[in-house]
Structure 1
Amino acid sequence: MVGAVENLQGLRVMGIDPGLTRCGLSVVQAGHGRSVVPVSVGVVRTPPDVPLEQRLLRLSVAVEDWMDDYRPDVVAVERVFERGNVSTVMNTAHAVGVLMLSAARRGIPVHQYTPSEVKKALTGNGRADKNQMTSMVTRILGLAEAPKPADAADALALAVCHCWRAPFLARTVARENQAQQNQARQNQRSGQR
């Protein structure tokens, strides 16, 4: 199990920067060590003058097409947090629900990261600004130019963050599973006495 946990080369991650007006989508492939290869990046837009349910449907169709075309192993999405504008938070939460449902229908695990977790993973600074993040994403992925708009760069950052955190997460799950197995064996032995 340790070899499988530490070698996640080939893991395909879909990064999603959720938004109702603009939703950043990306797909990357984990390489050897900390190398990450970009596969695709884009932005789905929905017009603000369209009813909410139609916007969510358009978003769902687009993200499902991406999932079907690129077949990610896992989805990394930004965790919704309080931004001060309740309307924006609610619209983003609606979008996140639709996106997570799309992944669940395909049996794709979803991991959520706060913006500060992503910033810390990529720059070492949980308060890095947009320019620092875009610069790091461009450098890490070896891109000829910075991804635009910011939603696209954010989607790539989420995917890279998960690629780098996946080994730690896998080791944590393996330890928890081993502890549960040990506890079950101990309980079984105690019951036989």
Structure 2
Amino acid sequence: MDGKAVVQNYEEKMDKTIEALKRDFTSIRTGRASTSLLDRVTVEYYGTPTPIKQVANVSAPEPSLITIVPWERKILGDIEKAILKSDLGLNPNNDGAMIRLEIPKPTEERRKELTKKVSKYAEEAKVVIRNIRRDANDSIKKAEKAKEITEDESKDVQDKIQKLTDKKVKFIDELKLKKEKEVMEV
């Protein structure tokens, strides 16, 4: 068992968790229009749930407006329903050719709700990181019991995993603070 490879393997898993957190953060809307708000919204297209960006042209021509122009007009209603069903809290305006989404400035109360959501996502990511650390330590201890590595190597790899965990948790905290600041901006 190669300690370096073990650390690298678990670091990749932790990085994937952080990427997932960043994707979650893009779905939390601030006062600015961003096409990434619609990344998680899917529409039923020929019997398959498909992201809106794959069936329509999505753009943000103004800071408070997103426009959606579907490639097939017949799915305008489906896109509208998908947006209404999503947890974005936006009301689509369908004019028969395109959908306009006005992005209102969030109220103080809504911004506070959104910061709670940011905190929740960040805490969930930290839990996943800690679970990855636990899995790594378990595999290292098993290798030590099976006499694949020495006790010193085991301690060394566990220390590296702990340092890596601390580093990733700190990075998540930084991402969280940055997103909270962005959400609270008026």
* TM-score normalised according to structure 1 size: 0.27
* TM-score normalised according to structure 2 size: 0.28
Higher Rg: 2
